């Protein structure tokens, strides 16, 4: 991974704002879907696709690519939007989200859209599939493999037993090529994670399962990319980046409110949100700036 300079950070931040605008547009058009998670993960997705990940949008099946597994499949609007901005497919296609015969299924399906590694949605098992990929890569290319498997999971998802079954197996096999990224946004469908099912101490839990744990501000590009670099350099265990994020990030009305977990904005709310995102919260007055 190349070093990150100020220009890169600016470019990634700009991409993240574009991705957020696309997410709102998609949800408005679809009339259903998840709002908070996708907005909250826009910075990390931008950093992954525009800096961290080894990939080739022109050749999604390129064998040497890193694997990015979205285990909490319901936040797929952020992945679709990011992929479109990375030119996997035309931006226009984003409008087909959740419609009949679309390649952009409500929860991602790998057979519909090249570049999606696993069909996911039922929580926890994408993480487990990522462990399987890292194990297979270990069998083929040993401990020095530079092909990384990035498993994006969420905090609410970690209520699932399979997450810990997978975490145990990865720790036991010291899968240095596996890098988990947890969206620690504190919300799930029924409420705040600490009310629904307390998860802390998450750091201690993963460390006790033989994982290297790094905590970052999930909206700080430099911190996140540095954490990814640190995770790549750990050579005797898997890494978990716990990314503290703000659900609904970028639109003050949506931020930190768990009611936005699983519903789309209305037309009015969406247009207001778009204006806010495009003017960077009023910091710029013209969309042409």
Select the residue interacting with another protein from 35, 128, 176, 188 (CB under 8 A). Answer: 128
Residue 189, both tokens:
């469908």
The answer to the question of residue 144 lying near another protein (CB under 8 A) is: no
Select the residue interacting with another protein from 12, 19, 113, 130 (CB under 8 A). Answer: 130
Which residues within the stretch 43-82 sit at the binding site for another protein (CB under 8 A)? 67
| Number of residues forming the site for another protein (CB under 8 A) | 30
The answer to the question of residue 135 lying near another protein (CB under 8 A) is: yes
Residue 161, both tokens:
């037993």
The answer to the question of residue 139 lying near another protein (CB under 8 A) is: yes
Site string for another protein, 153-172 (x = CB under 8 A): --------xx--xx-xx---
CB 257 within 8 A of CB 247: yes
Which residues within the stretch 84-113 sit at the binding site for another protein (CB under 8 A)? 109-111
| Closest separation in Å from C-beta 97 to another protein | 19
CB 78 within 8 A of CB 45: yes
* Nearer of residues 135 and 196 to another protein, judged by Cβ: 135
Q: Max alpha carbon distance in the chain (Å)?
A: 55
The answer to the question of residue 184 lying near another protein (CB under 8 A) is: no
The residues binding another protein (CB under 8 A) are: 67, 109-111, 117-119, 121-122, 124-125, 128-137, 139-140, 161-162, 165-166, 168-169, 173
């Amino acid at each position: 991974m190349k070093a990150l300079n100020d220009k890169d950070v600016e470019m990634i931040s700009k991409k993240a704002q574009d991705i957020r605008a696309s997410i709102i547009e998609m949800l408005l058009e679809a009339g259903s879907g998840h709002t908070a998670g996708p907005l909250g993960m826009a910075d990390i997705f931008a950093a992954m696709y525009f800096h961290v990940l080894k990939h080739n949008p022109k050749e999604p099946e390129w064998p040497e690519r890193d694997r990015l597994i979205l285990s909490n499949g319901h936040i797929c609007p952020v992945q679709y939007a990011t992929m479109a901005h990375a030119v996997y497919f035309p931006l226009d296609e984003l409008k087909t989200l959740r419609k009949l015969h679309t390649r952009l299924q409500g929860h991602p399906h790998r057979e519909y859209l090249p570049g999606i590694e696993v069909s996911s949605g039922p929580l926890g098992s994408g993480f487990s599939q990522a462990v399987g990929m890292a194990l297979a890569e270990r069998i083929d290319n040993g401990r020095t493999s530079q092909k990384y498997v990035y498993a994006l999971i969420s905090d609410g998802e970690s209520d699932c037993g399979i997450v810990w079954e997978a975490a145990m197996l990865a720790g036991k096999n010291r899968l240095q090529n596996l890098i988990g990224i947890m969206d620690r946004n504190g919300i799930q469908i029924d409420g705040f994670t600490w009310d629904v099912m307390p998860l802390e101490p998450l750091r201690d839990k993963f460390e006790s399962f033989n994982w290297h744990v790094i905590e970052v501000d999930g909206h700080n590009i430099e911190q996140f990319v540095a954490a990814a670099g640190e995770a790549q350099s750990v050579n005797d265990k898997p890494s978990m980046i716990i990314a503290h994020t703000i659900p609904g990030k970028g639109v003050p009305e949506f931020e930190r409110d768990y009611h936005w977990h699983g519903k789309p904005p209305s037309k009015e709310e969406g247009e207001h949100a778009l204006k806010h995102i495009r003017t960077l919260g009023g910091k710029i007055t013209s969309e042409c700036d």
